[in-house]
A = this chain, B = another copy of it.
Amino acid sequence: MRYHRIPDETVRRLPVYLRGLMVSANQGNTSISSRSLADSVGVNSWQIRKDFSYFGDFGTRGVGYDIERLAKEIKKILRLDVIRRAVLVGVGDLGSALLAYPGFGIFGLDIVAAFDVDPKKIGSTLNGVTIEDFAGIDAVKERDISLAIVAVPRAEAQVAADRLVASGVKGILNFAPCKVSVPRRVKVITLDIAMELARLPYYIPRAGRAEEPQQA
């Protein structure tokens, strides 16, 4: 059925599918079945078909999905066709690694500016991006940037977010291990690395015990 509302969990999987489609396209394929996409990304084939069914018919029965058409549609749904420029705030260890990270390109995302408060860093260039003074963050308003990555210590995260929102940023990927409050119109995704590692031990069976959590 077409023009369903797309469930949140499906949205979370769309980038996974998108990457799988790209990889397959790079191998020279023009179409792919839900089964083989399933094998390559690690999601059930019926889940994939259900997910795709929320936004139209891209498959051909007996054949599979047209990779290019489907990838283009997913990009459109995720708005990756129009929103691509991001700013980084906080060029510490993690921030520098993110600046150097080549993985954003596949989604058409681009870190086009970086800010820090450290005078020793301001003015230097990393991966083609010159680090600017955080005091001048307002300038991003004129640069068509709607995404931000916050990689500052916890104590500074809220301030950074406030200034970013004031500068017109619409979405924030927050690496600081804390909640940041923003107006409802702005979306924040907090990615707490230590927390991910912290929930790993739960899934490790106790040696010599019968009752164990199973993996998800």
* A residues adjacent to B (C-beta < 8 A): 8, 11-12, 14-16, 18-19, 40-42, 77-80, 82-83, 86, 92-94, 96-98, 100-101, 103-104, 106-107, 109, 146-147, 149, 170-173, 177, 179, 184-185, 187, 189, 191-206, 215-216
Contact = CB atoms under 8 A, between A and B. Distances in A.
25 contacts: A8-B216, A14-B199, A15-B199, A16-B195, A18-B198, A19-B177, A78-B198, A79-B201, A82-B201, A83-B201, A92-B97, A93-B96, A93-B100, A94-B101, A107-B197, A107-B198, A147-B197, A170-B205, A171-B201, A173-B196, A185-B205, A187-B215, A189-B196, A189-B199, A189-B200
A191 B191 contact: yes
How many copies, total?
Answer: 2
Contacts of A98: 193
